[in-house]
Structure 1
Amino acid sequence: MDQQPETTPPTPDTGAASGKLRPLRALLPYLAPYRRQIALALLFLAIAAGALLALPYAVHLLVDGGLALPPGVDNEHRLHDVRRHFIQLFAVAVLLGVSTAARFYTVSWIGERVTTDLRQAVYAHVLKQSPHFFETLKTGEVLSRLAADTAVIHSAVGSSISMGVRNAVLLIGGMGMLMATAPGLMLTVAGMILLVVLPAVAIGRRVRRLSRASQDRVADTSGIAGEMLNAIPVIQSYLQEAAEAARFSTANERAFATSLRRTQMRSALTAFLIVGVFGALLYGLYGGVLAVFAGRMSAGQLSQTVLYVLVVAGSVAVLAEVWGELLRAAGATERLMELLATRSPIADPAQPLALPQRSGGLQIVFAGVDFAYPSRPQQAVLRGLACTLESGRNVALVGPSGAGKTTVFQLLQRFYDVDRGAILIDGIDLRRVPLADLRSRIAVVPQDAVIFSGSIADNIRYGKPAASERELRAAAAAAFVDEFVERLPDGYQTFVGERGLRLSGGQRQRIAIARAILKDAPLLLLDEATSNLDAAGERIVQAALSAAMSGRTTIVIAHRLATVQSADLILVLDHGHLAEVGTHAELIAAGGLYARLAALQFAS
């Protein structure tokens, strides 16, 4: 089986390609692996087109050689010739049918294969993007490009291009045969057709712009729908169903209006081409009838001319429709190529350094770290963060909301790069470490547990896909997942639903903790990992986490200070600054920000 291309095609030159089909060239890298199938499709296409072009000539021979024989020829001889010509016509029809079916299958296979490869390339590319990418592009719009745009391209590659080539061959062949029959007349007709086609090109530019705009508006509706469907409980709780339906309706109507303008323009283009070209061909046919009257053309030649006029006229009608489809596909291709041309600022280093293999946790050094999110470059989140976290220590990050605690976790996983300074892991700047190597050393338990559609076992094994059943159950037991799994009819194979909606918040959190335990990474990041548990569940999971923390470096984000009193080191962040460092007892004695936060919480 041919493989999909690994290279990402370049961004099309949209300025130079305005009003043309040049963006479709970006699909060539996806078509290239299937040269053999394309050659086979072209062969079948040529055979089918040749068979169709042979039919009018065969009718010409039937009329002049079987029906219009001179007087005196006996009927038996006449019937023999007619029978022979009909057998020839049937043979041509069989060849046409078989080659057309083979062309349809081959071209459809190419369309399905290329669309599948393109969809996979876009999806794989999106997965590699940094979080900054999703700050500016809605998830629904990405899904729209994956679904709607690839569907348009599938229609183009799997049908429209083939139909366009086929009918272009028929048009050229038909015009050639007409010129062979009545060259002077057909040269005049060709000139008239050229005058029709030139204005159509200008109309086509407008069609393409509207096609691109139509796809953008569809993506807007998908973005709104994707966002709202993930927030149904909040929408219903605040009685915003009607308002959100109205917002979607507004975007939907804009998409409809843009699509309608595109359809109107395409309809005008199609009508203009058909009327203009058909009128020119009828003029040629009229000249053929006059030629028969004048004795310059036989009845068979006139029949041939009529059929070739129908072939050419039909080809022009199909080409007009195909042109509109290809213009729409060009707009969809532009959108996908823009997505594929996006490069994540977070990438593997040119000269990577591997982290040393050693038992125990990682040493982490923040060396004067400054950072602001790319979407808010003027608003610094961390300012001059400098501290050292020794291997195997249990460190807590505390501070008011917006102090930069979650940002520290994102920088450690290199979702973003620091603006100034460096983060060193075991003495190596993490920007010099391959992303896979870095992230394989980190296990994370977020505050809002991410659960995927599938079974409980699938979700736990996400931390280590190759884990054995024994390892999975040990991790589940450590996180006390087995307590509620035993009560489920299907046990670890229980289907949890989309985003784990069939589970409680505490159950989802335990699964996330089991996933991190199973990964067994030397650096464990806990973002308020027990926030969704009740008091009894929190005590149980805290005991499990204490066991999981053993022998590795652990960083805990905590808002409830009672959970971090036993931490080896507490870092107090305030508006991006490291305000205080010490143990719980030391910070209480210092009487600073931590002591004030503790006084408020413990008093309550």
Structure 2
Amino acid sequence: MPPLRLLLARVRPHRGVLIRAGLLSLAGSGAGLAMPLMAKHAVDTFAEGRSPAAPLIALTALVLAGACLSAYGSYLMSRTGEGVVLRARDQLVGRIMRLKVPAVDRLTPGDLQSRVTSDTTLLRTVLSSGLVESFNSVLMLLGTIALMAYMDLTLLGVTLVVVVGIGAVTSLLMPRIQRAQLKAQESVGAMGAALDRVLQAFRTVKASGAEERETAAVAAAARNAHDRGVTVAKWSSVSDVTMMMSIQLAFLAVLGVGGARVASGSLEISSLIAFLLYLFYLMGPIGGLVEGWTGLQSGLAAVRRIDEVESLPGEPTEGSCGLTKGDGGPLGVTFQDVTFGYGDERAPAHQGVTFDVPAGGMVALVGPSGAGKSTVFSLLERFYDHEAGTITVGGRDIRDWPLAELRGSLAYVEQDAPVLAGTLRENLLFAAPDADEEELAAAVTRTRLDALVARLPEGLDTAVGHRGVTLSGGERQRIAIARALLRHPRLLLLDEVTSQLDAVNEQALRDVILELAERTTVLVIAHRLSTVRHADRIVVLEEGRVRTAGTHEGLIDGDELYRELATTQLAADGR
């Protein structure tokens, strides 16, 4: 859909208020149109020797009335603009939350943030100066020209020759301004992405001594944004000055022609004064049109960038988007000849993967890095959809599950154990906000977080900092596991959950996992032999294929790769 139609679609719900605001602003501006006529009347009154009190009082009343009407109209316009921005942000954030994971993976967080914050803000500008102000400027321009025609057609002809000629030249600049504005907004998004890159790895940047390099990279992005902004300012200034110059040239032409006509007696001096006042009144609507057109180009560029996000593929929205605790017994999983690739130059992550996970108990996935282990979890959560083969969960094809129901039956503990900004309580209840205090206390105890809670100044209500910066890696992992326990999942997915735990906490968490495996299905990815050796079944993956499967004892004796992995890990664990 063309950007202008997209913009009008966003404005349409507010058209009633916009019409009222536009009419008030128009009435305020219209009051000013009468002032040159009143000024002519005042000059004539002076010339006739009569008191100027009446026309001066009328002029004062017009000024006050115009100011009040314009102020209220401007307030309504600004309030409506804020409403449009709020609605756009709500819709955009809601859309981002429903995007498919591959779509988000192709974008940078900084650029997404720029679209939600900066681009939506431009909608307010285009609403006030781009649409309504331009419409009012057109009406004011027509009204001013009509009154100038009433005053003197000859002088109007002189004015139009100058203004229209220069206006035609100015219109040639508008496409250049539009292109420059789009590039400027894209460069702001790129700068946000560069800064986000640094902040996401702030400790790594410092530990690597990369502050100067990263500062230079962000500065380069900022410089590019500056240069793009200067380009917009340059062409906008040329456009503004050209239009204002047309008024100045018209003034000189009218003054010369009008002065000659006054000298010849064919034009009254008061009429020339009134005409010159109207000529300067033209600066308002012409300037409004130029500003409105520039603002419209900014708004169209912003709408285009917002629409790019809203046009990205989203997940199905059937059912509720909120996740609930899993109801029912453990879920089994079957992968049958599954093929999947990430769509880049890498080899397919899965090439005919086939294995079974029975309902209840623990199954471990092992293999070298890049074997396709984490991809199994991404496919089960339907972050990605497999390309060929069949995946069933609980005996149902995974594509037949409503997405909310599927994810409501699973709990997924990621490898990097993300912790969100907020309190410890908010993080623990993130996936199960309805859990009661008893369930929360039990999860804290089972994951050995009770010591952490005891030493925090405000206990569970202590803020953990951005991305859990105040916590250790092991504490973040245990928080993620406790969060999963509160979900009461029918299928629990654990990705390297013991990688950052010491021996004592690892043993305690392993006991929790084994206990869970008696009530639900646990699918775990791990490199530590101590984590997987107690699994009911172990699936060995290699280069996107299932190499073999069996128990720890059977694989130690029968598979060279597993024996090598186990031996290496035993040495690494010091056992």
> TM (normalized to structure 1)?
0.89
Which 10-residue stretch deviates more, 260-269 or 490-499? 260-269
Alpha-carbon offset, residue 409 of structure 1:
0.3
Distance 2:73 2:291 in 1: 20
Q: 1:557 to 1:307 in 2, by over 3 A?
A: same
Q: 1:209 to 1:333 in 2, by over 3 A?
A: same
- Within 5 Å, which residues of 2 pair with 1:136-175? 136-175=106-145
Partner of 1:555: 523
Q: 1:420 to 1:538 in 2, by over 3 A?
A: same
Q: Secondary structure at the match of 1:486?
A: helix
Distance 1:478 1:461 in 2: 15
Partner of 1:409: 377
Say yes or no: does 1:451 pair with 2:430.
no
Partner of 2:33: 53
Equivalent residue in structure 2 for 1:298, among 268, 275, 279 = 268
8 Å Cα contact 1:349-1:433 kept in structure 2: no
Distance 1:141 1:448 in 2: 23
What amino acid sits opposite 1:431 in the alignment?
R
8 Å Cα contact 2:332-2:394 kept in structure 1: yes
Q: 1:57 to 1:470 in 2, by over 3 A?
A: farther
Spell out, residue by residue over 1:45-70, the C-alpha distance to the aligned partner (whole angstroms, 9 max, x if none): 22112111122122222222x2222x
Partner of 1:464: 432
Distance 1:98 1:430 in 2: 63
Q: Secondary structure at the match of 1:555?
A: strand
Equivalent residue in structure 1 for 2:494, among 513, 526, 532 = 526
8 Å Cα contact 1:372-1:381 kept in structure 2: yes
Q: 1:574 to 1:61 in 2, by over 3 A?
A: same
Equivalent residue in structure 1 for 2:172, among 199, 202, 205 = 202
Say yes or no: does 1:67 pair with 2:67.
no
Distance 2:520 2:13 in 1: 48
Alpha-carbon offset, residue 478 of structure 1:
2.3
Alpha-carbon offset, residue 411 of structure 1:
0.3
Which 10-residue stretch deviates more, 316-325 or 233-242? 316-325
8 Å Cα contact 2:421-2:465 kept in structure 1: yes
Partner of 2:480: 512
Partner of 1:484: 452
Alpha-carbon offset, residue 517 of structure 1:
0.7
Q: Secondary structure at the match of 2:455?
A: coil
8 Å Cα contact 2:254-2:276 kept in structure 1: no
Q: Secondary structure at the match of 1:519?
A: coil
Large movers: runs of 4+ above 6 Å: none
Partner of 1:8: none
Aligned residues: 567
Spell out, residue by residue over 1:568-598, the C-alpha distance to the aligned partner (whole angstroms, 9 max, x if none): 1111101111111111122123243212221
Say yes or no: does 1:359 pair with 2:328.
yes
Equivalent residue in structure 2 for 1:576, among 531, 538, 544 = 544
8 Å Cα contact 1:140-1:226 kept in structure 2: yes
* Percent identity between the two aligned chains: 32
What amino acid sits opposite 1:55 in the alignment?
M
Equivalent residue in structure 1 for 2:11, among 31, 40, 55 = 31
What amino acid sits opposite 2:403 in the alignment?
L
CA RMSD of aligned residues (A): 2.1
Q: Secondary structure at the match of 2:307?
A: helix
Equivalent residue in structure 1 for 2:191, among 221, 226, 231 = 221
Say yes or no: does 1:234 pair with 2:204.
yes
Equivalent residue in structure 2 for 1:395, among 351, 360, 363 = 363
Partner of 1:18: none
Distance 2:332 2:149 in 1: 83
Partner of 1:92: 62
Q: Secondary structure at the match of 1:578?
A: strand
Partner of 1:602: 570
Spell out, residue by residue over 1:174-207, the C-alpha distance to the aligned partner (whole angstroms, 9 max, x if none): 1111011112331342243222222212111111
Q: Secondary structure at the match of 2:267?
A: coil
Distance 1:570 1:249 in 2: 50
Q: 1:470 to 1:291 in 2, by over 3 A?
A: farther
Q: 1:358 to 1:142 in 2, by over 3 A?
A: closer
Q: 1:176 to 1:286 in 2, by over 3 A?
A: farther
Alpha-carbon offset, residue 159 of structure 1:
4.2
Alpha-carbon offset, residue 348 of structure 1:
5.3
Partner of 1:122: 92
What amino acid sits opposite 2:487 in the alignment?
K
Distance 2:254 2:401 in 1: 73
Alpha-carbon offset, residue 226 of structure 1:
0.4
- Within 5 Å, which residues of 2 pair with 1:201-280? 201-280=171-250
Distance 1:94 1:470 in 2: 67
What amino acid sits opposite 2:388 in the alignment?
R
Distance 1:451 1:292 in 2: 81
Alpha-carbon offset, residue 470 of structure 1:
2.6
In structure 2, the gaps of 5 or more residues are: none
Which 10-residue stretch deviates more, 565-574 or 327-336? 327-336
In structure 1, the gaps of 5 or more residues are: 1-10, 13-22, 72-77
Distance 2:439 2:34 in 1: 71
Spell out, residue by residue over 1:350-409, the C-alpha distance to the aligned partner (whole angstroms, 9 max, x if none): 9xxxx9x96211121111100110234x61111111122111131100011100000000
What amino acid sits opposite 1:366 in the alignment?
F
Alpha-carbon offset, residue 458 of structure 1:
0.5
What amino acid sits opposite 1:480 in the alignment?
R
What amino acid sits opposite 1:89 in the alignment?
L
Distance 2:559 2:334 in 1: 26
Which 10-residue stretch deviates more, 90-99 or 126-135? 126-135
> TM (normalized to structure 2)?
0.94
8 Å Cα contact 2:14-2:80 kept in structure 1: yes
Spell out, residue by residue over 1:254-289, the C-alpha distance to the aligned partner (whole angstroms, 9 max, x if none): 222222222212211212222124313442343333
Alpha-carbon offset, residue 495 of structure 1:
0.6
Distance 2:307 2:287 in 1: 30
Spell out, residue by residue over 1:516-544, the C-alpha distance to the aligned partner (whole angstroms, 9 max, x if none): 11111211000011211111111122223
What amino acid sits opposite 2:567 in the alignment?
A
Q: 1:297 to 1:548 in 2, by over 3 A?
A: farther
Partner of 2:462: 494
Which 10-residue stretch deviates more, 315-324 or 130-139? 315-324
Equivalent residue in structure 2 for 1:189, among 150, 159, 173 = 159
Q: 1:349 to 1:161 in 2, by over 3 A?
A: closer
Q: Secondary structure at the match of 2:280?
A: helix
Alpha-carbon offset, residue 427 of structure 1:
2.4
Distance 1:197 1:428 in 2: 68
8 Å Cα contact 1:132-1:375 kept in structure 2: no
Distance 1:594 1:268 in 2: 72
Partner of 2:344: 375
Distance 1:482 1:157 in 2: 54
What amino acid sits opposite 2:332 in the alignment?
Q
Say yes or no: does 1:42 pair with 2:29.
no
8 Å Cα contact 1:60-1:300 kept in structure 2: yes
Which 10-residue stretch deviates more, 497-506 or 317-326? 317-326
8 Å Cα contact 2:18-2:132 kept in structure 1: no
8 Å Cα contact 1:349-1:432 kept in structure 2: no
8 Å Cα contact 2:327-2:409 kept in structure 1: no
8 Å Cα contact 2:247-2:279 kept in structure 1: no
Distance 1:112 1:358 in 2: 43
Partner of 1:4: none
